[in-house]
Chain A
Amino acid sequence: GDSVTQMEGPVTLSEEAFLTINCTYTATGYPSLFWYVQYPGEGLQLLLKATKADDKGSNKGFEATYRKETTSFHLEKGSVQVSDSAVYFCALSERTSYDKVIFGPGTSLSVIP
């Protein structure tokens, strides 16, 4: 079945460092791809999404590009802040329906001043 794999955490970075969180997927069809973020004590929030190959999703300085040839959707940010400390989930769903979302295991990020 469809699945999502993420790099294992926790990841600890200093403020203003460059962030990359790797994500690869396995899907039988042509999925839509998402990054969700979970801040401490809260539910998940959609951070960005991409619905077709070579699409770049971006939000709050975060970016991810849908790479069909490598089945990847890596999350990047040029300069992280302490407020970016959270758990990040890569996820996929069917292209035509976002009803059933399959999540990766999550990557915990801690940013220290």
Chain B
Amino acid sequence: DSGVTQTPKHLITATGQRVTLRCSPRSGDLSVYWYQQSLDQGLQFLIQYYNGEERAKGNILERFSAQQFPDLHSELNLSSLELGDSALYFCASSVGSASGSRNEQFFGPGTRLTVL
């Protein structure tokens, strides 16, 4: 158990809908990272937050957004869902630092999103 929790474990929805994925980092970790894992694209970095502020952006679509709350949990919002958004979405956390983390990322178990 990495200490990172993600809810829900599975999500099935229809095209055009909007969903929210939730992540609680390990106690004491300030950085949260979101990744998308799909068969055709592999594991893609989406976005990182550090202590409530957006730190880095990767291959995140404009239909997707995220935020990190004062209690450090994070939510990833996916809207206008398309079939191609079906994937495993992982959250990871690390201690982090203002100048860039030199610490390992710990991954949660993931949320499997199926868009029908």
Could you tell me which A residues sit within 8 Å of B by CB distance?
Answer: 41-46, 49, 89, 94, 96-106
Contact = CB atoms under 8 A, between A and B. Distances in A.
A106 B105 contact: no
B109 A41 contact: yes
Chain A contact surface mostly: loop
B28 interface: no
A44 B102 contact: no
A103 B42 contact: yes
Interface string B105-116: 101111000000
A97 B96 CA distance: 9
Interface of B: 2, 4, 31, 33, 42-43, 45, 48, 55-56, 58, 90, 92, 94, 96, 99-105, 107-110
Contacts of A105: 42
B76 to A, nearest CB: 15
B105 A46 contact: yes
A100 B56 contact: yes
Contacts, number: 55
A44 B43 CA distance: 10
B98 to A, nearest CB: 11
B90 to A, nearest CB: 6
Contact of A44 (B31, B90, B100): B90
Contacts of B56: 99-100
A99 B101 contact: yes
7 contacts: A43-B107, A43-B110, A44-B92, A45-B2, A98-B94, A98-B102, A104-B42
A93 to B, nearest CB: 9
Contacts of B104: 46, 49, 98
A101 to B, nearest CB: 7
B108 A43 contact: yes
Given A43-B90, A99-B33, 18 more contacts: A42-B109, A43-B92, A43-B108, A43-B110, A45-B107, A49-B104, A96-B102, A97-B99, A97-B100, A97-B101, A98-B94, A98-B103, A99-B31, A100-B45, A100-B48, A103-B43, A105-B42, A106-B43
